[in-house]
Amino acid sequence: AMDSGDGLKSSSNMVVPDLQTFLEIDPYIENFTGDIKRRYEMFSKTKARIEAAETMEKFSQSYKNFGVKGKPDGSVHCKEWVPGAKAVYLRGAFNNWERWGYSYEKKEFGKWELVLPPKDDGSSMIEHLSELMLIIQTHDDQYLERISPWATYVKQFDNHGTYKWIFWNPPQSELYHFKNQRPKKPKSLRIYEAHVGIASSEPKVASYKNFTDTVLPRIKKLGYNCVQLMAIMEHAYYASFGYQVTNFFAASSRYGTPTELQELIDTAHGMGLYVLLDVVHSHACKNVLDGLNMFNGTDSCFFHSGSRGVHSQWDSRLFNYSEWEVLRFLISNLRWYMEEYKFDGFRFDGVTSMIYHDHAISRGFSGDYHEYFGLQMDMESLVYLILANDMIKTFLPDAITIAEDVSGMPGMCRPVSEGGIGFDYRLAMAIPDQWIKILKEARDEDWDMDHIFHTLTNRRHGELCIAYAESHDQALVGDKSLAFWLMDKEMYTHMSECTHLTPIIDRGISLHKMIRLITHGLGGEGYLNFIGNEFGHPEWLDFPRAGNSSSYHYARRQFHLVDDNLLRYKFLYKFDSAMQNTEETYGWLAAKQAYVSRKHNGDKVFVFERAGVLFLFNFHHSQSFTGYRVGVQNPGKYKIVLDSDDSEYGGHNRNDKSVRFFTEEMAFDGREHSMLVYLPCRSAMIMAKDDTD
């Protein structure tokens, strides 16, 4: 192999990745290197074509030229891709809605352009916040009313009906100027997954401003270092949770203005918080009048035509990732959010659906590598994901990208140069499914420690995971949060400290803390929590819809429950904060995978070490252990740095935190030293070396 001068290896004129590291990490891919090389070659050729034609710099910033753009001199430049059209017109309030408006000039490759000069006084012909519309004359002489795919602001009037395209072109005096630099990339990633619209106790759609003023300070105080925002890309149906995107470049107007979202992210940066966007490039809403579907009158403009262009379960359209202008649109969409709003990275939705031709519908993954490679791979989608990750890291090297992939495809989180897809993390989606299944089907006495251990540690070597006990998926109506599974019979009657502590509430609070801590310590290299679940939010999440009489009662987060000092929710909230801040001190998420020295099914005990700290769990429902020997590698004096049984977290104070524990020269459970501890039932502790005299 020879170096071609651009950092790529070439052999026989074919560009290939350097697979040596990938093979060392995962020898099982050796029989499938042909597939990996082929997708890498497709990526390399696609990237080379872009560089030769336009450069990736210009290609990824196409948002500067496409759509309707106001210029500093007062002129308005318009550009659209409408293949197969006979004519394209722009009309709106600016020309009194004349039927044809202003006609675009046809260019090569389905492009259409229009320049509107400034008025005599130098002002723009189209006023800021005025309504616009495209008129497209099709090949068969239909006249279609459409919103530009590049529209940056759309709005529903009276909070219902079709979105209207609003020209966003604020005067220079009203532009938002970012005050804070991007924070340093976190070594340990602790994500607070949030939805702006539900981030209030009031039964309404909450605002960007509310999130900035009231929720960001909570996130910072809790100890998270990253916010993941959902449902930002505009979606006509609020109850879709943001996963039926209509307008990809428009930040949702139901929460406020683009300026207010910029202020939110800038404020988060000032607090040292990374901000990720939950990006939906796996599919698009089927809406025609305010979406991308049938944009030019055909089903094949942005999407595959026929059945390949429709997701049968999601009832949505699927992008044609082999189309040059679709790549431009999606790659530019990512760059837009990086530059215009200063997002620090992305959580890519629906990756599993993208990378297989059958979208993994109605099938599981056993781990057989033939399930990941071969004809079922959608090479075009994979190439897009590689290209997206490569572009993101080129222009924002400290960006974080996360894949929502349930299949476990090898190389998803390996660098592009090694033949990987280029993501930093994948979501450990089996973990929350395990906890829900256990709580639904098994008594505490029957919990299988080996099974819990396997699920928490079953991840690809060398590929980082985001662990979580529950996310938005488990909070949705039809399912129940962990707190609800544990305590739903009494959450409305016995969460007040004015009532006696019942066995159900005691068990629920104890296990809620333990489940989170063991997931945090053992499950991955990052951690995620969904807004409100840190304090055991008492209800599921159900957006206003016809089936619930358009009620907002369940589409809100009741933070006032935490602030009420008489309620027990405060205990879960304080423990979650202590857990995040303890990780900040010791950094186990950034450390190597834990060494589990004990998983005893009879005792229901877990013991493991990670980042030099010792985790101890006793899941037994009734048996506490006095003088329980545990192995530890590093000798010395240990102290308790976090105890789920502390009264501050709703526990029973059965361990004295002032006591110090000393190791003995006695090997145990595969560790060179050991010590005796007290393990109360249904409790967990973290111990760390105490170097004080």
CA angle 541, 488, 481 (to 5 degrees): 40
Active site includes 349?
Answer: yes
Residue 47 and residue 56: Cα distance in Å, rounded? 8
Tokens of 138: 């099709």
In angstroms, how far apart are the furthest CA atoms of the chain? 90
Neighbours of 660 (CB within 10 A): 13
Dihedral angle, C-alpha 106, 107, 109, 114, nearest 10 °: -70
Active-site choice (35, 263, 266, 349)? 349
Tokens of 82: 């409408």
Match 């985001």 to its residue by tokens: 466
Residue 407 and residue 426: Cα distance in Å, rounded? 10
Active site includes 121?
Answer: no
- For the chain, report the end-to-end CA distance as a whole number of angstroms: 59
Neighbours of 12 (CB within 10 A): 6
Three-state SS at 524: coil
225 and 217 Cβ atoms separated by less than 8 Å:
no
8-state DSSP, 233: E
Three-state SS at 408: coil
Tokens of 75: 């002129």
Burial code of 406-418, b = ≥16 C-beta within 10 A, e = fewer? bbbbbbbbbbbbb
Element (H, E) at 24: helix 20-25
Amino acid occupying residue 217 = P
Active-site choice (260, 266, 404, 418)? 404
**Would you mind telling me the total number of residues written for the chain in this entry?**
693
Residue 471 and residue 574: Cα distance in Å, rounded? 19
The residues assigned a catalytic role are 349, 404
